[in-house]
Structure 1
Amino acid sequence: MKSIELEVPAEDVGRDTVSRFDMQFQAAAYAALQILEGEGIDCVYCDYHDDFVVRKQVDGKTTYHFFQVKTKKKLNHQWTLAEVFALKSRGQKNDAPSLKKVCASFGGKLLMHAVVFDDSCSEATLLSNVHFDDGVVDAVDALRCRLPACAASKFLSENFSAIFTLSAGDDEKVPAFLSKLSLRPAVHYIGKEREAFANAARTAIYRYSEIDLDFYETERIANGLVDLAYRKSRTPLEGVVPEDIAKRVGIELDDLLEILCISRGAYDALQSGVEEKVLKQASLIQRWLKHAGARDDMIEFASRQKANWDIWLRNARHTYLPIDLSLLLDRIDKLYARWAQSGEGFPFLNTLLTELAGEEEILAFEGLDRGLLFGAVSAVVVRRSSR
C-alpha cells in the first residue's frame, strides 16, 4: 500500500493561497494598531471595498485610505507595469479592450476608489512583500507629483476619462485622482510565518502606547490580531444596515483593548486625567490589580481614582507649598512600599489608607479622602512600573 506522505500531490496551491491571505490579514492587523496612537484613525475595515480600508476622522471630516495587498512567493520578484497597470512598455494601445484591462488592473481598481469617493479618499495604496520595478515606481512618482513625465504616467493621465466613467465636471479632477495612488513595497511586517508580524506588532504597540510586551504576550497578541482580521473579513453582511457595518467588518479600539486585555471602563476612566499614554497606564494598573486578585470593578475604580488624583495634584501645585506636597508624596510612596513588602492583600492596603486619611497632616489637604489616596497609590504603581 502506498503511503500518502511518499506520493507528491498533484497540486499544492491551496497552502500558498492560505499563506497569501494570512499576509493580507497581517497587513490589516498592523494598520489597525495605528488606532492606539489616538491621532484620528479609528477603524480598519477588513475585506470591504478592498483588502482593507483605514478610516480617519479629524475635525469632523472622515477620510478613507484604501489598500490592496499583493504578495509573491519569490522575494526577489519585482512587480512590472504589465502586472500593476496592464500596460506595455512599448506599443501600448488605447482601444476599448486595452483600456478595459487597465481599469481592471491592480492600479486601476485602486484609482477607481479615488473616482468613487472623491475627496473622502485620501490615498489608495498597493502594498506588497516585494519590490516594484523602476517603470512602476517612476509612473507612480510622476502621478503623485502631478507631473506625468514618463510614458506610463502620460498614458494614464491622457486616457483617464476613457478608462473610468467620470461625472460631469470631473475631468479637471483627473490630476488629483491620479495623485492619490501610492506604493508600499517590501513591507517588513508580513510574511509566510507570523514571526515578522509579531516583532513588528510589539514595536508598534510600544511606539503608539509605550506598552512593553514580553515574548509570550507578544505571541498571544500577534495571533489574536491576525485572527481578528480574519474573522472580520469573513463576517457576512447580508441584511446589515450601513450604520452597523463598521462594527461587523471593522477593527476598532474596543477590539484592540480586548486583545490587549485592557478594560474599556479603565481606559475611559483614565481619559479624564491629565497624563498622556492612557493605554500604558490602563495596562499597568490592570496588570497590577489582576496579579493581586482584584475584580474588574476594582480595576475601573482604581483607574478612575488615579485620574482624579492626577487632577487633584495638578491643582494642588497652585495651592500648597512644594515642601508640603513633597512630604505628602513621600508618605504615599512609603505606604505603597510597606503594603507591597507585606505580601498582604487589599484589606491591609485599605487599613493603611484609612489610617493615612485620618492623620492630621493629611486632613490639612482639602478633599484628600481615602479614594483619592488609593488613586495616588495607583499613580505610584504606574510610575514605578514605567522605569
Structure 2
Amino acid sequence: MFRTVKSIDIEAPAEDVGRDTVSRFDMQYQAAAYAALQILEGKEVDCVYCDYHDDFVVRRTVDGIATYHFFQVKTKKKLNHQWGLNEIFSVKKRGQKNDADSLKSVRASFAGKLLLHAIVFDEACSEATLLSNVHFDDDVVKAVEEMRCGLPACAASKFLSENFSMIFTLSVEDSEKAAKFMSKLSLRPAVSYIGEEREAFAGAARTAIHKYSEIDLDYYETNRIANGLVDLVYRRSRTPLNGVAPETIASRVGIRLEDLLEILSISHGAYETLQQGVEDKVLKQASAIQRWLKQAGARDDMIEFASLQKVNWDIWLRSARHTYSPMDLSALLDLIDKVYTRWAQSGEGFQFLNSLLESLSKESVVRSFQGLDRELLFGAVSAVVVRKASR
C-alpha cells in the first residue's frame, strides 16, 4: 500500500512575505540606480547615496555648493492601487484631530519623514520626493500641489499648514519657514522604470545611457550593465557605517562617476584625458576607443594613450585648418581613413595597426605637415573610430 506524501510544490506556504519584501527592495534599488545614471551627463549630479538618510539621495554640486534631493520609494504589487491621504500623510478626509497622538502619526507618515529632511537640512535640501510604481489619489495630488505653491485650500493642506509647527515642534525661527519647508515635498507617480522583474529597468537604463552619452548598447550589454547597476546599489545599501569618518561616507554608500565607468567598462584615465580636451560626448568617445582597442588586444595604458593622442590630434587639426590648404588636409584625412579601413578589414591585431602608422608617417604627403608623427597619427585614427561610432 502506497502512502501519499505531500509535495512542496502543491502545498501553499503559510506566508509569502519574504518574496514580496525582496521585490520591493529590488524596485527601490532600481530607482536609485536609474537616478545614478544622471551622473553620466557630467553636469550637476555627482553622487547618489544609497539607503542613507532615506531610500536614496541625489547630490547636486554647483560652484562647490552641494544640495540634496531626498527620495522615498513606496511600491504596491497591485498596480491599480492609488495611495490615499491616510497612507501618505496619516490624515483623514474628514474629522481629522490635532491631538498629540494624531500629530505624532502625521510626523511618522511617509510625507512626514520626507518633510523632516526639509527642516533638518534647510537650504541644503532642494526637494523631498515620494516615488512610486503606482498612482496617488487625487486628494493627495491636490494637497501636495497646494503645499508646493504655498496656497493651502483643501482640508488636508490647510490642516498641515495650520499645524505644521506643532507636528514637527519647530522653533520660532523655523516656524516662519514652514511654507518653504512644505513647498519641497513632491510626488513622482507610476514611474515606468521599476518593476518586480528588471526588464523595464534594463530598457530604461539603455535609453538613459544613450541620452547622456550616446553609447548604444546591445541586448547582452544592456542586461549586464543593468544588473551591475542594481547590484551595486544593493551592495552600497548594505555597507556598515559604524565608526566611519564622514569624509568617506560618499565613497562607501554613494555611487559616483568612477563606479559607473567601471560598470560600463570604460577606463577612468581615458575618460579624464578626453574630458580635458573639452569635447562633447566624452563618454561616447571613451567607450568607442576602449572597445576598439580591447578588440585589438591593447592594454589599458595603450587605451589611455590613444585617448590622449585623440585629444592632441583634435587640437592639431583645429590649428591646421587655419594653416594648410583645405585640399591638402582633405588628402591627409583620406589617407588616415584608408589606414583605418585597411586595418579594420584585415582582422589583425594592434601590431599590424602600428606598422601601418609607421609607414604612413614616412609618406611625403604626411611629412609635408609639421608635427605629424606616428603618435599623433594614432590619435587621428582614434578620431576616425569615434566618428564611425557616431553613425
Q: Can you give the 5+ residue segments of structure 2 that lack an aligned partner in the other structure? A: none
Amino acid aligned to 2:177:
K
Residue 125 of structure 1 corresponds to 129
Contact 1:68 1:126 in 2 (8 A): yes
Residue 335 of structure 2 corresponds to 331
Residue 58 of structure 1 corresponds to 62
How many Å apart are 1:168 and its aligned residue?
4.2
Report the RMSD for the aligned CA atoms in angstroms: 1.1
Change (3 A) 1:323 1:168: farther
The reply on whether 1:355 has 2:381 as its aligned counterpart is: no
Contact 2:89 2:110 in 1 (8 A): yes
How many Å apart are 1:342 and its aligned residue?
2.5
Q: Aligned match of 1:26 in 25, 30, 33?
A: 30
CA distance in 2, matches of 1:107, 1:147: 18
The reply on whether 1:315 has 2:319 as its aligned counterpart is: yes
Residue 219 of structure 1 corresponds to 223
How many Å apart are 1:348 and its aligned residue?
2.2
SS at 1:182 equivalent = strand
4+ runs deviating over 4 angstroms? none
How many Å apart are 1:147 and its aligned residue?
1.0
Residue 150 of structure 2 corresponds to 146
The reply on whether 1:171 has 2:153 as its aligned counterpart is: no
How many Å apart are 1:319 and its aligned residue?
2.1
Matches within 5 A, 1:84-163: 84-163=88-167
Q: Aligned match of 2:208 in 190, 198, 204?
A: 204
CA distance in 2, matches of 1:167, 1:290: 60
SS at 1:47 equivalent = strand
How many Å apart are 1:72 and its aligned residue?
0.5
Amino acid aligned to 1:364:
S
Amino acid aligned to 2:21:
T
Amino acid aligned to 1:141:
E
How many Å apart are 1:352 and its aligned residue?
1.9
- For 1:216-256, what per-residue CA distance to the aligned partner results, in whole angstroms no more than 9, with x for missing partners? 01111111111100000000001110000000000111111
Residue 231 of structure 1 corresponds to 235
CA distance in 1, matches of 2:261, 2:169: 42
Residue 293 of structure 1 corresponds to 297
CA distance in 2, matches of 1:249, 1:182: 24
Length-normalised TM-score, structure 2: 0.97
- For 1:269-310, what per-residue CA distance to the aligned partner results, in whole angstroms no more than 9, with x for missing partners? 111224210101111111111111111111111111111111
SS at 1:67 equivalent = strand
Amino acid aligned to 2:390:
S
Q: Aligned match of 1:281 in 257, 265, 285?
A: 285
- For 1:97-119, what per-residue CA distance to the aligned partner results, in whole angstroms no more than 9, with x for missing partners? 11100000000000000000000
SS at 1:193 equivalent = coil
How many Å apart are 1:337 and its aligned residue?
1.3
How many Å apart are 1:11 and its aligned residue?
0.7
The reply on whether 1:377 has 2:345 as its aligned counterpart is: no
CA distance in 1, matches of 2:346, 2:9: 60
Residue 51 of structure 2 corresponds to 47
